[in-house]
Amino acid sequence: MTRYNIFGQVHKGLRAMLYETALCLQQTDFNNTEEAENSLTLLGQTIDLFDKHAHTEDTMVFTAIEHTEPALVNAFEKEHEEDHALGQRLRGLLTAFGHTVSSDDKIITGDAITQSFIEFMIFNLKHMAKEEDIINKALWKSYTDIELHGITQKIVASIPPQHVAQFSRWMMRGLNNNEITGWLKEVKNNAPDFVFQSLMQTAEQELNAPRWQQVQETITEGAMLA
């Protein structure tokens, strides 16, 4: 039987953000002010969102198994500390880039940012994969899927609306159509209508036209939304 992956949806969104940030950085001409600003703004948002995600895991996911798996929780919390250090190094490079003047310095610092981000991305991809394997197995031993869904609901309720919007945007980009329609149906059935409508708006903005049409048709069981 397939068990509920408490990390699945948000990790897909975070991976999409990592992939897009990596591509954006490697395509950037760091002597082009607009390109550099756009890429480095996205990079800053990526670091911030990963910090927020790690804090949520520390305080609302790992705490669910710390009584049964204290050594495991400690090991993953230490990985979060390493992840934070990688993010802080990137923030330092962002500050350094802001003080560059010459074209050569911009290129050199831009390359350093790109290489440092690759390390950040590789670390997080491995870390998230380990969580979905090791932490999930620990959670499944102690909790039913219904109970794990309850933890997810508490997490969503604890996140400020502006951060929910950020996570939702990237999850829309990272999920497949079946996952998106399942998510939308769950929100439609369990949340206030304004929450559902907001999420539908996000889907319309983030999905291409064929995917958006398919999602609408599935949500309304074959009938297009007005």
Alpha-carbon span 121 to 1, nearest angstrom: 31
Same domain, 25 and 92: yes
Same domain, 150 and 52: yes
Domain of residue 33: give its range. Answer: 8-159
Same domain, 94 and 206: no
pTM: 0.93
Asked if residue 171 is part of any domain, the answer here is no
Tell me which of 105, 131, 159 is where a domain ends.
159
Indicate whether 99 pLDDT > 80: yes
Alpha-carbon span 159 to 52, nearest angstrom: 9
pLDDT digits (tens, 9 = 90+) for 168-222: 999 999 999 999 999 999 999 888 899 999 999 999 999 999 999 999 999 887 4
Q: Which residues contact 138 (CB under 8 A, 6 or more apart)?
A: 65, 68, 69, 72
Asked if residue 225 is part of any domain, the answer here is yes
Type of residue found at 211: R
Same domain, 112 and 209: no
User: Taking the alpha carbons of 118, 17, 12, 151 in that order, is the dihedral positive or negative?
Assistant: positive
Same domain, 186 and 145: no
Indicate whether 32 pLDDT > 60: yes
- Total structural domains within the chain: 2
Please give the distance of CA 196 from its chain centroid, rounded to a whole number: 20
Closest by CA position to 6, among listed 195, 139, 123, 124: 139
Same domain, 193 and 95: no
Same domain, 39 and 105: yes
Same domain, 119 and 88: yes
- Per DSSP, the three-state class of 154 is helix
Asked if residue 166 is part of any domain, the answer here is no
